[in-house]
Amino acid sequence: MKENKKHLPVIGVGPVIVVPQVVLSAAGIFISTKEFLSFARISAFRIPFTVLGVVLIILGLCLWVYANFKTKIESHIKENTLATDGVYSIVRNPIYSAFFLACTGILLFPANLILLILPVLFYFYMTVIIKNTEEKWLKAL
């Protein structure tokens, strides 16, 4: 008889964390292009912010690729084992961190101080969601 083992959801709370980050980042960029937040733009820092933004996006993309394809997180989830190898030995949630880095990088392009509030909100939102869901799932296993 096949044993039906309970395991963590493969997707987890990813969409709950990532979708608001992406939507708010896109909204922030859109609002910024419409000159609603022009009073908070720092033109002198446009080039450094753009360079840093590109670096963060590339880091986020590399982190996402490495976490998804190199570590094979799905197999860890299905086997009920905690991934502690590769990038997971450094970052507990590298996929969420990758989106956080990429969205932060995108928000740097307009060089607008108001938009820099969003990554701080993303971080706290992500922390609360993970603490209230995934950590409880891990304890329940």
Residue 12 lies in a domain: no
- The rounded distance, in Å, linking the Cα atoms of 11 and 40 is 37
Contact by Cβ (8 Å): 17, 126: yes
For the chain, what is the largest distance between any 2 Cα atoms, rounded to a whole number of angstroms? 68
Confidence at 140, pLDDT banded by 50, 70, 90 = low
Per-residue burial over 92-131, b if 16 or more Cβ lie within 10 Å, else e, is: ebbbbbbbbbbbbbbbbbbbbebbbebbeebeebbeebbe
Q: Is the pLDDT of residue 1 over 50?
A: no
Whether 11 maps to a domain, the answer reads no
**Would residue 70 count as lying in a domain?**
yes
The parent domain of residue 73 ranges over 17-140
Q: Band the pLDDT of 5: cuts 50, 70, 90.
A: low
Instruction: Please indicate, yes or no, if residue 79 is contained in any of the structural domains.
Output: yes
Is position 9 within any domain? no
- Please count the structural domains in the chain: 1
- The answer to whether residue 3 is domain-embedded is no
- pLDDT, one tens digit per residue, over 94-130 is 888 999 999 999 999 999 999 999 999 999 888 888 7
* pLDDT of residue 2 exceeding 50: no
Is 134 or 16 the better-scoring residue by pLDDT? 16
pLDDT digits 0-9 by tens, 61-82: 999 998 888 777 777 777 777 7
Residue range 14-51, pLDDT digits in tens: 788 888 899 999 999 998 888 887 888 888 989 999 99
In a domain, 7, yes or no: no
